[in-house]
Amino acid sequence: MALTEKRNVSSKLNPKRPKIDIESIVEGILGSRKRANDVFDILESLRSAKEKDVISAASACSKLFSTLLERKDLFIGKLPDEDEALNGDYSAEEKYHIFMRHRYNSCVEMLLEYLHHEVHEVKESVLSCLMKFAAAEGQHPLEDMDWSEHYSFPRQLIQLVVDNILSKTTDNSLLISKFQEYLEMEDVRYYVMSSIRVNVSAVMEKNKEVLLHVYQNNVFTLMSSINMPSQESELTNFMVKQEAKLEDWKATKLSDHKRGFEKMWLGFLKYKLPVSMYKKVLVILHDAVLPHMIKPTLMIDFLTAAYDVGGAISLLALNGLFVLIHQHNLDYPDFYRKLYNLLEPSVFHAKYRARFFHLVNLFLSSSHLPVYLVAAFAKRLARLALTAPPTALLIVLPFIYNLIRRHPSCRVLIHKPTAEDEALEDPYVMDEEDPVHCCALESSLWEIKTLQKHYHPDVAKAAMLINTPLPVQEDDISEVLEITTHEMNNNES
């Protein structure tokens, strides 16, 4: 009875109260149970429209409830309805606990709502508040627990937080970067990964074949911000200290982490992605994802699909494929043919030019390749060089020279003395997709001869090299891969 009275009074008084003494209210609630109804004031100010009030109220809440959690002043176990509790057969102590637990739940609900707030500061403080609750809950679980089966971790709370962070409407990348610091903790990371998986499958099942750009972007940001440990011994930083049976806890096992990680990624990549997302995924795939998977070969489907898309996506898929071929014995039929067809004029203008040429250089460094293939690559690159900017030309010309050096039988491309001085049309067929039939070996690299008249002196000089037998030493391509026009300019002066 008294409680309701008090509540009425407080609600009446609330608008007049100055909000500055929110700290003192917290002190008061924690000091004596009689002032427990003041908690409504705090919740009221949490509802306020002003960001400042919200932030201060959130910090007050976090202080209040984490202290209460510590004191075990919150009801533990299955929570009865509030009215039921009032009428029911509970002691005053229990009634207080139930009351406070209800307030706690409503507070959490409100905080979760605030995760969609447009002001970043609010979101940030709310998030830190929620994570504090999560930590406190982990330490002092609110559930009745059978210790033999369960480990105390606020899985529900984390699930709720993740669900709310992965918004469908707003780009939460800033908040996610804030959230990243909690992901450093092993158990949080583990449970976040599984929550992501659950969330993604739930959301994507609902909206089949529809691209949710913002949502997928948020998911990707969150997933890419997960830093996987490389060794089990590194798993030391936990949010919740488990008292018993530490060995069986999944969050302490690296393999479980990996499995969770793998499931999460596969669950995400299962669904249709926008093109920009494809690129983003492929960029990080080879060094952030593949090494942390238990079975990287599971990515084959995804990668081959991406490789067949064409254009820049194919270029990027090349990197992941390379890892699979190189380290996991993937046998890819017609790999070189596809690679050959990847060579388009746009290759020289793409953002990932350096990476692409690095890989192509790797693929073509084998000395067991057939001559016709190497010649086809050289000729095609030379033909494409006719449209390339000077920075790309400084890569392509040494690249072609290296090919010819590695495969001396390709030297006919730049040196084919004939008895009779006949002139012939270029036999090379540019449109032929199969390097076997493109007749590159019968051709000569007249394109490089053309480039000897290029306007840039460095390029012209590089092209001049075909006038004389090439020096034996291979050129180091990695030096020129990242060269920019500005650097070329600076070399100039």
Partner 1 sequence: MGKPPKKKSLADKVRKTKTASEIKNNPFEVKINRKKFDVLGRKSKHDVGLPGVSRSKAINKRKETLLKEYKQKNKANKFVDRRFGEYDTKMAPEDKILQRFAIERQRVHEKKDVYNLNEEEELTHYGQSLAEIEKFNDNVNSDDESEEKGLLSAELTASHFGGGGGLLRKKTSEEQEEQGNQRAKSRQELIEELIQKSKLEKRERQVQREEAQELTEKLDQEWKSIQALMVKKTPKSEQTDKPEEKPKLEEYDMMVRELGFEMKAQPSERMKSPEELAKEEEEKLQKLEADRLRRMIGEDGGDGVQRPAHLSADDLNDGFILDKHDKKTLSYQDGKWNIGKETEANQKEELEEEQGEEEEESDGGEEEDESDGGEEEEEECSSEEEDGHSDLDSEQESEEETSSKPKQSLSREELKAQQEAAKAELPYTFPAPESYEDLRRLLRGHTPENQRLIVARTQKCNHPSLAAGNKLKLQKLFGFLLEYIGELATRSPPELTTVDKLIPELYTLCQMFPLAACQAMQSILGDAAHSMEEVLEVKGHASFPTLDMLIYLKVTALLFPTSDFRHPVTTPALLLICQALTKCPVRSLQDLTSGLVLCCLAVEYVSLSKRFLPELINFLSGTLHLAVQDKTSLGYTLVPPFRLAGKYSNLLVLSSSECCESWSKESLPLSVRLELDARSDLDKDHYRLNCLSTCLDLVKRCCLLYKDLPSFIHVFQPIRALLSKHLLTQTLPKPLQKFHSEILDCLKEAPLTHSRLVFEKKKPIPLKLLTPKIVEVLDYGKKRGSTREERERERLKHKYKKEFKGALREIRKDSRFLAREKLSEVMNRDAERKRKVKEKGRDKGGGAGFHKNKQSVMNKSQLLDLQKEKKRKTTHNNTTGASYHCVNLMRKYTQQSPGTQIPPGSYRD
What is the contact surface with partner 1 in residues (CB under 8 A)?
344-346, 349, 351, 383, 386-390, 413-418, 421-426, 430, 444-447, 449-451, 453-457, 460, 466-469, 484-486, 488-489, 492-493
- Which tokens sit at 109? 């609900």
| Closest to partner 1 by CB, 154 or 398 | 398
The b/e string for 259-269 (b: 16+ C-beta within 10 A; e otherwise) is bbbbbbbbbbb
The torsion defined by the Cα of 159, 160, 161 and 166, in degrees rounded to 10, comes to: 90
d(CA 302, CA 93): 58
d(CA 201, CA 269): 11
| Closest to partner 1 by CB, 257 or 353 | 353
- Which tokens sit at 325? 């071929």
Minimum distance from residue 384 beta carbon to partner 1 (Å): 9
| Closest to partner 1 by CB, 381 or 445 | 445
d(CA 186, CA 424): 69
Task: Kindly list the distances between the CA atom of residue 235 and the CA atoms of 108, 153, 159, 231, 250, in Å, as whole numbers in the listed order.
Answer: 29, 17, 22, 8, 11
Let me know the angle formed at the C-alpha of 310 by 306 and 311, rounded to the nearest 5 degrees.
115
- Which tokens sit at 60? 């007050």
DSSP string for 8-58: HHHHHHGGGS-GGGHHHHHHHHHH-GGGGGGHHHHHHHHT-S-HHHHHHHH
Minimum distance from residue 311 beta carbon to partner 1 (Å): 11
d(CA 311, CA 361): 18
Please give the single-letter amino acid code of residue 53. D
Minimum distance from residue 317 beta carbon to partner 1 (Å): 20
Closest C-alpha among 333, 412, 426, 418 to residue 403: 412
Minimum distance from residue 361 beta carbon to partner 1 (Å): 22
| Closest to partner 1 by CB, 119 or 275 | 275
Minimum distance from residue 450 beta carbon to partner 1 (Å): 4
| Closest to partner 1 by CB, 48 or 485 | 485
Minimum distance from residue 343 beta carbon to partner 1 (Å): 11
| Closest to partner 1 by CB, 43 or 350 | 350
| Closest to partner 1 by CB, 68 or 466 | 466
Minimum distance from residue 398 beta carbon to partner 1 (Å): 18
d(CA 116, CA 169): 9
| Closest to partner 1 by CB, 147 or 446 | 446
Minimum distance from residue 466 beta carbon to partner 1 (Å): 7
- Which tokens sit at 328? 């996991």
